[in-house]
Chain A
Amino acid sequence: MSWVRTYATYHRFSGSWAFLGHRLSGLALTGYLLMHIWTLKGLQESIQPGVPLEEHPWTEFVRPYTSGLWLFLEWVLFSAVLFHALNGIRIGIVDLVGGSKYQKHLFWAFIALGWLLFLGMGWLIYRHVLFGA
């Protein structure tokens, strides 16, 4: 598996992996954003007179995405958001306020902060499932 070695050698430093992760998460989030807006277009359906808010068809439309695998993927999506957001802040610090001297420390500090926020989001998303509403 020589390409594994080439790949691992080329991406020897954290910044190189950060670059790759930033691009991949960025493309994934752009795809998600387009899908996200498309999914929400059903909100434009006007409210029928006499029909309560609870019975609007959009609620039924999103229901499958609020449990099971989709709920888990919503949590996983947050890891892409966090990686891209925190690494983006690191890029901003390097590019705009001379952070290149401590960019590697920043990388690991943000990885730690990212894990904290990710686990916090896990608690928010799953507390109702685990402990009841």
Chain B
Amino acid sequence: MVRTRAFTRSSGSGAWAWLFQRISGLVLAVLVTLHYFLMHSNPDRGHTFKSVYQALTDPVWGPWFKTLDLTMLALGLWHGLNGTWNVVRDFDLRAGWNYALLGLLVMAGLAVGVLGFTTILAF
């Protein structure tokens, strides 16, 4: 099992990001697979405005779908962009390039994150 003490003593080493990459990944593996099956349970699901509107404004299921979508959005963006950042660092680029690319990833995450949140919460 993960040793908690080793983690709490390793601030700044990237250990938390490493652990959270695993945790978010395991959650996403389940949620995204479920999302894919849900969105293809019939041909309209998620592919017409009416079906999206009815699902997200459903008095019983709506809040659950929104929670599912917002969770996938937040975890997915962080997991994907942190993973991309890991790939970037493995190329051993010069520090300037690293920070330029990190800035690009952070900005993409914030911009698309806001866009995604406002889209889901518009319902």
Contacts and interface: CB of A to CB of B under 8 A. Distances in A.
Interface in A81-125: 81-82, 84-86, 88-89, 91-92, 95-97, 117, 121, 124-125
Interface stretch (B5-13, B49-57, B59-67): B49-57
Given A27-B84, A44-B118, A54-B50, 11 more contacts: A30-B83, A38-B115, A54-B49, A56-B50, A59-B49, A78-B36, A85-B29, A86-B29, A88-B26, A124-B37, A124-B41
Interface residues of B, number: 38
A56 B49 contact: yes
Main secondary structure of the interface of B (DSSP, over half): helix
B48 A43 contact: no
Interface string A19-61: 0000100110110011001101101101100000110111100
Given A37-B73, A58-B49, A92-B25, A26 B36 contact: no
Interface of B: 1-2, 22, 25-26, 28-29, 32-33, 36-37, 40-43, 47-50, 52-54, 73, 76-77, 80-81, 83-84, 87, 108, 112, 115-116, 118-119, 122-123
